[in-house]
Amino acid sequence: MKIFLTGKNGQLGHRLEKDLNQIHEVIATDRNSLDLLDIQLIKDRVYQVKPDLIINAAAYTNVDEAEKEKDLAYKINALAPEALSQAAKALDIPIFHISTDYVFDGTKEGAYVEDDQVNPLSVYGMTKWQGEEFIRQYPKHFILRTSWVFSPHGNNFLKSIFKLAQEKTSLSVVDDQWGSPTSIETLSKAIQIIIQYLDQKNNLDVYGTYHVTSDGETNWHSYAKKILDTLESFKIELKLKKYDLYPISSAQYPQNATRPKNSKLNTDKFRKVFMAEFSHWENGMNDTVLQMLK
């Protein structure tokens, strides 16, 4: 199968190119090889490649900067996916699109299901939602919402704590935002499961929106503590300083963009349709830390 992949330098794109190339032919693009601001170029490139499916792993992900760069975020998170979707429609092929927990406002008591009402609190969340809506105009789509993604590659919370633990003696982390840290392995695995499903030409009435996260939930402060506790066992190698970790509220850590207090996503739909199970986020975190230490 020939796969057209965007965002190859991001966390997911980097992992997918590696994983999918073992079985499929992957044509992976980045911002240098595909200008996501050039709508016609996007379509022309897809038509030139003639893939069997498209995976859009590219996005404008700087949540706070998006508040100041609304137009740029909209073009990358909404208009570029629309162009990819139109190209997919012209070729009659499936398209995968990665979205976010930030399309919700976080006021729900439990975990969000796919059909819950969206209400983004930030420009980033809004533009990702707009991208979803453009993708939905073409029936053969898979929209995968995920949260708090981490990997040894790219920028993420785990890597930030890993770095700060070697530089600081005191850390303050918010404790009133809840969600599910998601290993890049979990997200890549989910996409591979769907591709295998399509490749075997099983019941194809499975297109739509799915939530995909690792098992378990936590808040940012507890997540940071778990990372630091894990790193503590590598104290000699990392030369960690003695640190103090303090919980603070979101109000005490002002940012340009408002984050949802509850980012928990219910993954039952994906598990039921594709008969899949995912490991706990702590297992993924431990594996990631080990990879970063190699």
Catalytic site positions: 124
Can you tell me the distance from the alpha carbon of 89 to that of 47, in angstroms, rounded to the nearest whole number? 11
Q: Which residues of 132-162 are buried (b: 16+ CB within 10 A; e: fewer)?
A: bebbeebeebbbbbbbbbbbbbbebbbbebb
Six-digit token string for 191: 């996409």
**Which alpha helices (DSSP H) does the chain contain, by range?**
11-20, 39-49, 70-74, 80-91, 123-136, 157-164, 184-199, 220-232, 235-238, 268-274, 281-293
β 218-219/149-150 pair status: unpaired
